[in-house]
Each structure stands twice: as C-alpha cells, then as structure tokens.
Structure 1
C-alpha cells in the first residue's frame, strides 16, 4: 500500500472527525431495543462512559476490543520472515496486490455509521462473555493454528468463521475485494514465468471457495498439496 505524509495526516484528521456521530444521530436511534439495552448495561457496569451514545459504532467497537485482548505477544507472520530473508540476502520483494491508502480507505470514510453497528455488537458480545469469551477466542485461534499445522485446511478455514471481528472493516471492503481480485492473475503470471518465486498468501485467500486454488484448477493447473475442500 502506497501513501504519502500528507495523505496520512489527512486520514488522521478524518478518523478523529468521524469518532463522533453527526448531529442528530445517536446509537440509540440506529440500534434495536435489545442492542441498546445491552449497551446501556455496559454503561451501568462502568465499561462505557456517559455520552457513549454519540460515539461512532466502529470507533466504539475498537475501544471495546482493546479491553478484551488476551495479552498475547504479537508474533511475526510468514511474510515477516520472508522480508527478513530478502533484506539479508538482497532479494527483491514484489507485492502481489497494490493500492493507494487514500483510495482504499475512501469507502470506509464514506460509509454510514449504521453500516458498522454489526461490528460494534460483535465487540459487545465478546465483552459480555468476559474472560471466558477471551479464552474461547484464544482457544479457537489455537485450534485454527493446529489444524493448519496438520494441513487440515477445511478445519482451519471453519475455525476462522467464528472470528469475533468478522463484521468489521476491512472485511468485505473494497480493499479486500481489490486484493482478492488481483491475486489470481498475479500468481498465474508468476507461474508461467521462467523465474522461481516464493509467494506468501493468506490461507483464506488461497483455499476459500472461489479462491486462488479454485481459480488455478479452473485454468488447468495441477495443484498439489493438502486437500483444501471437504
């Protein structure tokens, strides 16, 4: 993702301006009676501060999400290890998908607050579950990791379906759609070239229905490896 200093400064300003709902809008107006009652219950417990009803639902979801982290240390992913190797050995890094930060976030800032209520309620559900909910999410992550380590791809994908932030941006956004649309053509091009390329692609993008592997099979490629369909 490419970006410039002024683009970042502009996005920070938009983010801060978006944090409060437009005049005349409140969370009570855009939620169901049951959802509103659950938010009020969190306020009564001291988790939400008075005036929370004027906070943008996505911003509120992010605040609630910070209070449900399980304290795990961030671990380097496969892409991080590949970048280290390339820096050490002078290899060339070529992004499979590219985009401009300002353009990719335009859809988010143009969206209506109501579109992010589902994300907010996912965070509320996790918070309501307390420590048991945090532990359940950690256990699900471990199960996904174990399934992938054992090359049980369908099980790994199934576990990811229970992600607590499945309704939150950028899931399903223009950013994801552009990335997914560019992956198969980019990988197909690399496969037909003379050079050897190590590609780092998420398991979801590879093995989901209609993902990269399905596209390659449809194009006549012989895909060998773990079974990715049930």
Structure 2
C-alpha cells in the first residue's frame, strides 16, 4: 500500500508508468539546480517522477526523483515548492534512488545533494533522542545506537560524511550514532545534531539537505510503488 491508500501496482505496471507518464526536458544548469529540476513536475495519481540525467546532476550520477503522495489530481503540473508544501502536509515526501546505481560504497559517499531532505523536513535528530521523526507518523522509528563502522559502514564514507557535516553545519565534532544497512545500497543513518545551535530552523533544514541521509526502512517499504518485495535503494534525507 502507498500513503494514499491505493494498492501498489505490480513491478511491470509501475515500470510502465514511470516510462510513459513523464516527459523530461533537461533544465538549464545554474546554482539553483535543485529547484529547476522540479519545475513543471508532472503528477499522475500517487506518483510523480522526474528523471535527472547524468549530465545535469551535480556529480554525474543519473537518478529519478519520485514523489510518493497523492498530490492534487492526476495530470496536475506543480512547482517544487507546491510539491514540498503538499507532500509535507500530506505526510509524504520525496524519495531519490539511483537509476544506474553503482554497487560500490563510493556511491554512498558521493551521491548528490538529496533534495528529498527538503520534503522530509522533519528528519531532524536532537541530542535527546535516537530516532527519526516521520511526518506521516506520531511514533518515531527507533534505532539501536551502534558504531557505524561496526555495522559495516565504509570508513572512508564515514570520514566523507563527517567532513561534510563539519563544513556544511559548522559542527566541530559531528557524530554518527548509528548505521543500519538496508538493501543493496541503502543505509539508515542517525546523527547527533542539536538544532538549537543554529540561528534558525530554516538554516538548519537547508544545511541538512546537503547531508547524505536515507529514508527510514519502514517508510521506504510503505512507499515503494514496485511492491514491498522489490529491493530498491531509496534515498532521501537523506
């Protein structure tokens, strides 16, 4: 089931939807690439898709952005801000996954600027909890606090992520409290962050959008239009 309550299509039906419903025109490259990718986003039923080609992505990886929510009606055309506002109010969000994902861990450390975090705006960790707040649920997903390296998270990916947190969030000693592997490429990460240390919430969320977060596994299964048994690397937060 997807968040709209409708039954998930079969893998073949979903692939056909993804291949035929959306017409993609590469955006003009500019500093606001996250926003231009989502201009004229086409929504069809509970799914909205934009293919980001390798040449238009910031790091050369092609990927799709999929909004899993029944936003307005079929055939609507929305701006990214419309999608963001309505996805949040509907308790859904953006999930990003690699179309031609590399099986190598380097992919985790170099995947692009996951705009999905903006739609999953409540993916905020504080020092008082080890859980992820999901807009669609009042019950946080609990994580066992464990050393990411002990869970198999690559050391160089950990160094890259922590360095990114220091540079982007200006945290002197960032910490990843836990890492949980999910599927082929997916990881659920829990960080030790204190939003009160930032000047305002908007800055905090904007900074979070550049960290390599991943959607919680429970949410990914619920929102997977290909069915819960299909392994897909869902990214967001990520």
In which range does the TM-score fall when normalised by the shorter chain? under 0.3
Would you tell me which structure has more helix in proportion to its own residues? 1
Give the TM-score, by structure 2 length. 0.23
Give the TM-score, by structure 1 length. 0.24
Would you tell me which structure has more strand in proportion to its own residues? 2
Q: Find the structure with the greater CA-based Rg.
A: 1
